[in-house]
Amino acid sequence: MHYRMTRRALMAGSMLAAMPALAAQVAAMPYRDPALPVADRVRDLLARMTLEEKVAQMRCLWFGKASICNAEGDFAPDKAASVIADGIGQIGRPSDTAGSARFKTQHYRSLDETIAFVNAVQRFLVENTRLGIPALFHEETAHGLAVPGATVFPSRPRVRTPRQQRAQPPAGRRTEMTTTSLRPAAIASRSMVGPMTISSRAAASRWG
């Protein structure tokens, strides 16, 4: 067991040591060129991806975040080098501490801790994986950003009928405004996703 753990640590260390050269190679690939048409960039990227890398883009870490964090819940590059070496499609609820021992007494990170965690994960993926594919970060926003101190909006069916639509902006839009404090510091701010509010369910065709 000791041998296997030592070998794994050495492999992770070797990968991290080689990352600067890898990042330079990735930056020169056609799919990273913003001047090229999107279709050409997508075609180039897909042609380069292995099956493992494609599957990784379909995965999400939520409670599994502990596998890329230390005991305190901070991002651990050495663990990430083996766990998400092929990348990851999505990180669920970066604002919470799910999966760590800290979750038992403190469910959420502070705003500064969340920003630091998102930035660290995204920087690792962009700079330290073979193709540098960034991840999406999911937060619950169905009735407001679900973190301590954020505004919670009503989410009952018909809380805002069609005739009231001009009276107030949708909760989704107001939720977007409450998350602006994350944007200046987070390099992954444009990679944040969340479920949008259906504020008038009875009038929405998808609800029958």
If residue 8 lies in a helix (H) or strand (E), which one and from where to where? helix 2-17
Average pLDDT over residues 11-28: 60
Radius of gyration of the chain (CA): 20
Q: In 3-state terms, what secondary structure has residue 187?
A: coil
pTM score of the predicted model: 0.69
Helix 111-128 to helix 19-27 angle (10° resolution) is: 80
136 pLDDT higher than 70: yes
If residue 109 lies in a helix (H) or strand (E), which one and from where to where? none
| Interatomic CA distance for residues 170 and 117, integer angstroms | 29
Q: In 3-state terms, what secondary structure has residue 142?
A: strand
The pLDDT assigned to 19 comes to 55
Q: In 3-state terms, what secondary structure has residue 138?
A: strand
1 pLDDT higher than 50: no
